[in-house]
Amino acid sequence: MARFVPKVVGGLVLAMASAGAAGGCADNETMLFVVGVQAVEGDCLAKPDLSKPFRGAGVLDLALRNPPVYSAALIVGNQLVQRGDEEKLRTESSHISLEGAEVTVTDLAGTQLDAYTVDVSGYVPATKGNEAGYGVATVPLIPGGGDITAGATYRAIVRVFGRTLGGQVVESGEFVYPISVCFGCLVTFPVDAWDQTLSTSYECNSTQPPEDSDACIIGQDTTIDCRLCRGNSVCD
């Protein structure tokens, strides 16, 4: 379960860690960076693979997600150069262990609606040759609280931070991700789910629902067949 703390506390923790870290805090935000939000599909496992599709924006359906949590699989890159040397018995210190993320949620006008720091677990290897190393950080970009309204679009602004194995604190630059919020927009009504006994309208009333849903998280980004969410008034 994610643990949420006020943003100011997260900032103090980060500042204290920076002061005590060996070698100090890395000010260069290009060392650790967020590539984007991976479109997790199929086996529903996020992977540090840039060939996988990415989402440019998210959709959150309040009719299917209560509380309204939007969880994103962030692909995070590490551009620190490898320093390990097997011949000199020097261990690698440039790998990064992720520790948390700072998230600010605003409306499109820039008004802040929420701000929090959340614990993150993840590992981002150092560069290999000329290629950056990549890892995954799963972060709630809308945490289930606040005044989230259907029909609106919000901006999640996130910074990911962690520590190298050498003790250096690093933090990414800001990554901005828009999320549109709706009520019932991700529910589909296939023709074979209609109740054909009704002459003027139809209900989702098939006795042969599909075996499974393509959605890895119900109510987020991917549509769902109405027969898989029977009992919800929006689906019925």
Q: Which of 182, 204, 221 is the last residue of a domain?
A: 182
HSE-CB at 47 with a 13 A cutoff on CA atoms is 10
Q: Do 220 and 117 share a structural domain? A: no
pLDDT at 139 over 50: yes
Q: Which candidate, 196, 191, 195, 199, places its Cα nearest to that of 225?
A: 191
Q: Do 228 and 150 share a structural domain? A: no
Average pLDDT, the chain: 83
Would you place residue 145 in the very low, low, confident or very high pLDDT band (cuts 50, 70, 90)?
Answer: confident
pLDDT at 14: 35
pLDDT tens-digit readout, 16-37? 333 343 344 445 667 999 999 9
Lowest mean pLDDT among 37-46, 51-60, 151-160, 178-187: 37-46
Q: Which domain holds residue 191?
A: 186-236
**Residue 76 near residue 124 (C-beta atoms within 8 A):** yes
Q: Which of 142, 161, 182 is the last residue of a domain?
A: 182
pLDDT at 107 over 80: yes
The structural domain count of the chain equals 2
Q: Do 154 and 224 share a structural domain? A: no
Q: Do 202 and 169 share a structural domain? A: no
Distance CA 161, CA 169 (A): 7
Q: Do 108 and 29 share a structural domain? A: yes
Q: How is 31-71 classified by DSSP, letter by letter?
A: SEEEEEEE---TTT---S-TTS-EESSEEEETTT-SS-EEE
Distance CA 209, CA 180 (A): 28
**Residue 91 near residue 83 (C-beta atoms within 8 A):** no
Q: Do 87 and 136 share a structural domain? A: yes
pLDDT at 222 over 70: yes
Q: Do 190 and 176 share a structural domain? A: no
Q: Which of 182, 198, 219 is the last residue of a domain?
A: 182
Q: Do 47 and 100 share a structural domain? A: yes
Residue 156 vs residue 200, higher pLDDT? 156
Q: Which two three-digit tokens encode residue 142? A: 């809308």
Q: Do 195 and 140 share a structural domain? A: no
Distance CA 61, CA 86 (A): 52
Instruction: Determine the average pLDDT of the residues in 109-122.
Output: 95
Q: Do 155 and 193 share a structural domain? A: no
Q: Do 160 and 194 share a structural domain? A: no
Residue 14 vs residue 50, higher pLDDT? 50
pLDDT at 189 over 80: yes
Q: Which candidate, 71, 135, 46, 127, places its Cα nearest to that of 97?
A: 135
